[in-house]
A and B are shown apart, each in its own frame.
Chain A
Amino acid sequence: MTSNLAVVGIGQSKQAKRREVTIGALVREAVTAAMADAELEFADIDAVVLSKTPDLFDGVMNPELYLADAMGAVGLPVTRVFTGGSVGGHAAIYGAHLVAAGLAKRVLVVAYSKESEGNFTWALSRPLPFSAQLGAGAGGHFAPVIREYIRRSDAPEHIGWKVAVNHRLNGIRNPYAHVQRPDITVEEVRSSPMLWDPIRYLESCPSSDGACAIVVTSDEDRPQTARPPAWIHGMAWRTETGHFAGRDEVNPQAGRDCAAEVYRHAGITEPARDIRVAELYIPYSWYEPIWLENTGLAAIGEGWRMVDDDRTAFGGELPVNPSGGVLCGNPTGATGLLRFAEAALQVRGQAGEHQVDGARRALGHAMGGASQFHAMWVVGAAKPGETQ
């Protein structure tokens, strides 16, 4: 068992509709960038984990086979993980587990989606027997959950609009973000078309092509480069059954359990005090207060107040998604890993224009399915156990 784990390389492609590159080339962009960041060669890598949402999204079955060459994986063990939108987080954690278990020294974790080459809504229209064919998409599923959050917390309706503006303004600081809307206003969000009440068009994530890759190593096998690593302080995943009466999808037990475990690993007793920046999986604006409460960064019913008081905006005391987050780019297979990677960039001080000052510890968060899959990690600028 290896105790200290480090993220030493991070790469990502531009998130956008990328018809000019193949899937392999898109993946290679992120892989090349991560390897260059780590200052490692493929010969230094001894396992690869691939993250991808359903194969039907872009129609390539078992993409680890086709991508073996693009990932530099020929001759290596490759695992293709799939747990819904949380998959990027799961892949990062599995990669870290391989190092922690002593089965690999350096693991390359690769993630992508190329949604412009598939048909998302078709792929999500699952013809289950006895189920109505609503074709409601993901927003149709989440809208009633948001309604319930608003009812419980008595949040004013402008909160969702404000989150949408905050994240879009963050996105213009991130050259990799798909959506670039420097002039966005609350009024513009409010007047954008209603998709699934209360979710408006500008409160929704885009469908993106994009890739992300990271390199995880043990402390002993860490390349000595000028750029500091991000140290992994804690990681956890949790799954709960998707559908049963009494399940609380506004505040899923699996998310709470996952957060509790990741903070326990990281030695964090007061997350709102100890976490300086959070990259949360927020596909619809209202999920910022929902996940703030679920991950313990806000008390129940208080998440929306943090938004209202600008505490989660860039420059606030706990910036959420300084990268622009999912609302500015959503290549679903890569989205979870992007959240984990952006958290790591922050604590390395490598986040460029969207760098949060004094980001010593960050939370990366990914969720999937009907919010029943959760994965999180806490990364830090200092080694675990050292003064934070």
Chain B
Amino acid sequence: MRDVAVVSFAQSPCLRANRQDDMAETLLPVIQEGLSNTGIDRDRVDFFASGSHDFFEGRTFSYIESLDAVGAWPPVSESHVEMDAAWAFAEAWTWMQLGEGDISLVYGIGRGSLAADLDQVMPSQLDPYFLTPLRPHRDALAGLQAAALLDAGLVTERAMAETVQRCLADATTNTAAAKAGHYSVEELMAAPYVATPLRTHDVGPIGDAAAVIVLAAGDTARQLADRPAWVRGLDHRIETHYPGVRNLTDSVSARSAARRAAELAGFAAMDVDIAELHTEYSYQEALLATALNVKDAHINPSGGPLAGRPVTATGLVRIGEVAQRILDGRADRGLAHATNGPALQHNLVCLLEGE
């Protein structure tokens, strides 16, 4: 594999609802920060990749507006996934392997607050003939998965509360977090359910934000960053769509993505110092840590998605948070995880390392 590294990460604060800026206005300062960290101009970028989703904006081709803000003149080499931008990151990393260029810029922009009612939107993610008409509210399938884990004795409500407690405490030092604070487990467990056994704090708060990562190859990466965060392995896997035919107490796809990423990287999840997991719900931390085989790592030192979940940028932020700690010298090896779909249907694993 060609050596490719994250040389810069920038994100906007995850706001619960940003009614001041549109897509472009949210994104543009983040792109500028992402590039200025490396001292390069936009014209040095050889490839752009982005992730966003029209359903949150409520209109088609919303990505054109963000692209126009980024600027594509003279014409650029560019692609877009209508998924979490972590998958755009995967596409950019693939493109870098071709050797046709040395610098890529990946951005994700998500504004989950725009939908008047996410319970109307999220069922559209399901099989349109058999599942969507049931219109499960957006936390319902997660509640089923959490209940399955409780029944199997793989997690407890107290353990879920402890995860939330730790994440929100860690988030107090994260200026991008939408939610942070020091809570007692008893205080958290006294909150009412929103989808048994999930309470409000067990659900990552949807928000609005953008994230940007600059990737560079080989010596270019070494010129642009003192300590590049090398992408050593990356893989992603999908499972069957139907929750009724999956074993909800395991994540087979996260497990196999981690295995493949480790093959490429030469080290595995058990070897990392930090892990940023795309835990949209608190119960997913235990499930993912087991499936990925994360051992002693500090999980979600940023507070993770339980402290702020800007849709379609959340997974990219996980990669960025791990990379930033490597760039800063606060970590040597890290794992970033992204997910999409009901009950962790689709999972991506990225292993990064400093030199």
Contacts and interface: CB of A to CB of B under 8 A. Distances in A.
Nearest to B236: A77
Contacts of B60: 54, 56-57, 123-124, 126
Interface stretch (B102-110, B126-134, B160-168, B177-185): B126-134
A63 to B, nearest CB: 9
B244 interface: no
Nearest to A239: B78
B235 interface: yes
B91 interface: yes
Interface string A226-261: 000000000011111111100000001110011000
Contact of A66 (B54, B94, B98, B128): B128
B153 interface: no
Interface string A47-70: 000001011110111101111110
Interface in A64-81: 64-69, 73-81
Contacts of B122: 61
A364 to B, nearest CB: 17
Contacts of B121: 61
Interface stretch (B34-42, B81-89, B143-151, B328-336): B81-89
B346 interface: yes
Contact of A61 (B48, B124, B239, B346): B124
Contacts of B204: none
Interface stretch (B67-75, B219-227, B271-279, B284-292): B67-75
A68 B76 contact: no
Interface residues of A, number: 61
B251 interface: no
A241 B125 contact: no
Contacts of A236: 77
Nearest to B60: A54
Contacts, number: 182
A194 to B, nearest CB: 26
Given A101-B98, A239-B78, A66 B64 contact: no
B341 interface: yes
A369 B81 contact: no
Contact of B94 (A23, A61, A64, A103): A103
Given A82-B82, A94-B91, A238-B76, A126 B240 contact: no
B238 A66 contact: no
Contacts of A1: 97-99
A80 B54 CA distance: 13
Interface in B21-68: 48, 53-55, 58-65, 67-68
Contact of B79 (A78, A237, A372): A237
A11 interface: no
Nearest to A244: B73
Contacts of B77: 236-239
Contacts of A258: 75
Contacts of B48: 239
Q: What are the 4 tightest A-B residue pairs by CB atom distance, in nearest-first order?
A: A101-B97, A254-B75, A54-B60, A239-B78
17 contacts: A55-B54, A61-B121, A62-B341, A65-B342, A65-B345, A68-B345, A69-B241, A75-B253, A75-B256, A77-B90, A77-B235, A79-B87, A94-B94, A101-B94, A236-B77, A238-B77, A242-B68
